[in-house]
Amino acid sequence: MIVLKFGGTSVGDVGRVREAAAIVEGQPRPPVAVVSAVGGVTNLLLEAARAAGARDAARAETVSALVRERHLGVAAGIGDDEERMAALAELDQLHAALEDALADVLTAGELTHRDSDRIVATGEKAMSVLMAATLRARGTPAVHVFADRVIATDGRHGAARPDRPRTRQQAQAVICPMLEAGLTVVVTGFIGGAPDGATTTLGRGGSDYTATLLGAALDADEVQIWTDVPGVLSADPRQVPDARVVAQISYDEAQELAHFGAKVLHPRTIRPAVARNIPVRILSTFAPRQPGTLVTREEEVPGGEGLKAVTALRGLLLLAVDVPELEDLAGASAKVFGVLAEDGIEVLSVSQASSRRRMTYLVDAGAHGGCARVGSRLAGALDGADFEVEVACTQDVAVVAAVGAGAAARPATLSRVLDVLAGANVPVLSASQQESNVALVAAVPAADVDRAVRALHDAFIRSHAANARNRRPRRQELLAESVRVG
């Protein structure tokens, strides 16, 4: 059994939904198809929710009307009258529930994370209804399932954490009988259910994570992430237009890439696949015959000598904590981590120069008020401590990560990375070789990050590929050679 996941662009309009349906139907056995909201709809729903929170009823109504329109546009392509009418009736219910939720927020005059999740889930729910109806209209027996009854999570709205054992139980109870009955099961991406029954979301881009969670819960043979690029590329194509497809990467490498900003995979996507050793393939709905990228266990990835990809992540803070006395380091670290955990701030990397008793933390604090707030929270927490400590915070920081197990493990690569960055006039705020030896990470000013990515890509990936091309004899040369020999 295979789990296929279709992102927003891949179900962005009638034509795309049709293409996605054809891919689903091309599977040898009925699969599970995880669907995102129609491209752009999640942003619209969030905009409507925020407008309602700001008591802007007119804006909330205008934007929710746009959402309705996008859904009705896709429904128009359902090629069977009965199926279309039934889908329209279900969409009516979802849109009515959306209006109710927006009305509640308007009345309250504030938007809670809980209400936001309830509102934004409309996008995936509508798409699951539309995709299942499209499949049935084409003669493929299919049902839709809302994942708030399958993916069990905690109650952290907006970034809920899944409860894997309960998810496995629920997925097997709900989905297995459907598959056994020969049905294709269309499941909403992105959403889950809290212990109190409320709908949660897994964080932006979370449908990828839904796919591997379900893959693991159902012991799938493979998870396929169908998207709008032909695989994991050697860099973000918006930064490096001639980035190339990486044919094969390990779980570790994929995890580092996703962690350090490759939007093609939600940062948590790989973990569930690792646990059950499920291959993950990234494929393009625009070029469905291309092989894409295969993500498997390290031992199965051949070669791996060069760096494979360069990624970047913006919106970070760099915290530097100076502790003059060595014996105070552990206590100071505990306090810093305590504050970061309390505020739900994700730590991307930590390094320590013990000779200077300095610890640096790269943290993702985009949504946490920047240095003004994080710096003063830390200073406050450390103020009462009975040791000396100084905190400095740098804003507008980005990281570039160069990923590739073979190369990243060699000490010489880090010095070359630093050379290349220096050659491109990119100041390096901190640099570290990850313990996993899969990624080299440098913190740089956000303003320089595009230049940094391009320089690293040029030096390590483009030139590497060009050398390989030059080494490979061309066909004419081979023919000439064989003539001479003959």
Nearest Cα neighbor of 194 from 249, 253, 148, 234 is 148
State the nearest-atom distance from the C-beta of 97 to ligand ADP, in Å. Answer: 24
Query: Could you say whether residue 258 binds ligand ADP (CB under 6 A)?
Result: no
* Beta carbon of residue 155, minimum distance to ligand ADP (angstroms, whole number): 25
Does 232 participate in binding ligand ADP (rule CB under 6 A)?
A: yes
Cα 264 to Cα 128, 255, 351: the distances in Å are: 21, 11, 27
Q: Cβ(243)–Cβ(312) under 8 Å?
A: no
Q: Does 228 bind ligand ADP (CB under 6 A)?
A: yes
233 binds ligand ADP (CB under 6 A): yes
Select 40 or 73, whichever has its Cβ closest to ligand ASP.
40
* DSSP 8-state code for residue 306: S
Q: Which stretch binds ligand ADP (CB under 6 A): 24-32, 63-71, 260-268, 322-330?
A: 260-268
Minimum distance, C-beta of residue 215 to ligand ASP, in the bound complex (Å): 15
**Residues 6 or more apart in contact with residue 83 via CB below 8 angstroms:** 133, 134, 136, 137
Q: Minimum distance from CB of 439 to ligand ADP (Å)? A: 13
Give the Cα separation of 111 and 103 in Å (integer). 11
* Contact status: 256 vs ligand ADP (CB under 6 A): no
Shortest distance in whole angstroms from residue 262 CB to ligand ADP: 4
Pick from 39, 53, 189, 205 the residue near Mg ion by CB under 5 A: 205
Cβ closer to ligand ASP: 125 or 335? 125
In whole angstroms, give the CA distance from residue 386 to residue 384. Answer: 6
- For residues 281 and 294, the answer to whether their CB atoms sit within 8 Å is yes
Shortest distance (Å) from residue 230 CB to ligand ADP: 9
For residues 208 and 269, is the Cβ–Cβ distance under 8 A? yes
Q: Which of 2, 10, 129, 393 binds ligand ADP (CB under 6 A)?
A: 10
State which of residues 42, 128, 227, 248 lies at the interface with ligand ADP (CB under 6 A): 227
Q: Is 12 in the site for ligand ADP (CB under 6 A)?
A: no
Residues 263-322 that bind ligand ADP (CB under 6 A): 263-264, 309, 311
Residue 283: which of 213, 217, 220, 208 has the closest Cα?
208
Applying CB under 5 A, what is the total number of residues that bind Mg ion? 2
76 — phi, psi (to 5°)?
-60, -25
Residue choice 3, 4, 9, 249 for contact with ligand ADP (CB under 6 A): 9
Span interacting with ligand ADP, options 6-14, 191-199, 356-364, 413-421, rule CB under 6 A? 6-14
Q: CA–CA distance from 450 to each of 88, 315, 424 (Å)? A: 45, 14, 11
Least distance between ligand ADP and beta carbon 12 (Å) = 9
- Of 209, 219, 211, 319, whose CA–CA distance to 255 is shortest? 209
Residue 123 interaction partner, one of Mg ion, ligand ADP, ligand ASP, none, beta carbon < 5-8 Å per kind: ligand ASP
- Tell me the backbone φ, ψ of residue 321, rounded to 5 degrees: -115, 115
Shortest distance, CB of residue 289 to ligand ASP, whole angstroms? 24
Q: Where does this chain bind ligand ASP (CB under 6 A)? A: 7-8, 36-37, 42, 123, 189-190, 204-207
Minimum distance, C-beta of residue 246 to Mg ion, in the bound complex (Å) = 17
How far is Cα 345 from Cα 366, in angstroms, rounded to an integer? Answer: 9
Q: Name which position in 163, 236, 252, 448 contacts ligand ADP (CB under 6 A).
A: 236
189 sits near ligand ADP (criterion: CB under 6 A): no
Residue 229 within binding range of ligand ADP, rule CB under 6 A: yes
The torsion region of residue 292 among left (phi > 0), alpha (psi -120 to 50) and beta comes to left
Number of C-alpha atoms within 13 angstroms, CB side, residue 453? Answer: 29
Q: Which residue has the tokens 């279309």?
A: 84
C-alpha torsion 216→217→219→224, nearest 10:
-50
Contact set with ligand ADP (CB under 6 A): 7-10, 36, 205, 227-229, 232-233, 235-238, 262-264, 309, 311
